[in-house]
Copies of this chain bind each other. A is one copy, B any other.
């Protein structure tokens, strides 16, 4: 297909997995465009601050999360494939939330995580189309899928 596939990169923001996938895809000249949520942690937490300060943590988080959802939900609904990355640290419930969102929409997604967290991710992996452990594997799956060969 001549069209550009839209790939949504969801999840962990503390390592360079997004860059690895994007540069790998670029090297192969894959017909892919990559999009992500806002990956700057502080900017993301402050997304709603422009609308006025909040004294309570819950409402500040609430306001920022709803602002972030405008971008995230729109991109998930438009994307062709989502890559959902779970790192070794933090709760990362937003990544699992995105996976459930994709699953309900029938949107294909690939998980990217280490073997050490297979068990707690079993429901997330069961609804995924593939589980990869390295960005290089993701690039190869994209190459195969987008080029059809």
Q: Interface on A for B, CB 8 Å cutoff?
A: 1-3, 5-6, 33, 35-38, 40, 43, 47-48, 50-52, 55-59, 61-75, 78, 80-81, 86, 90-106, 108, 110, 115, 117-127, 129-133, 137, 140-141, 144-146, 148-149
Q: Are B148 and A94 in contact (CB under 8 A)?
A: no
CB distance from A9 to the nearest CB of B (A): 11
Which of A51, A55, A57, A149 is most buried by chain B, counting CB atoms within 10 A of its CB?
Answer: A51
Q: Are A124 and B2 in contact (CB under 8 A)?
A: no
Q: Are A126 and B50 in contact (CB under 8 A)?
A: no
25 A-B residue contacts at CB 8 Å? A1-B6, A1-B75, A1-B78, A3-B78, A38-B144, A50-B140, A51-B130, A61-B126, A64-B122, A65-B125, A66-B129, A70-B130, A74-B80, A86-B93, A90-B120, A91-B117, A92-B120, A93-B124, A94-B96, A98-B100, A100-B101, A100-B102, A100-B104, A102-B104, A103-B104
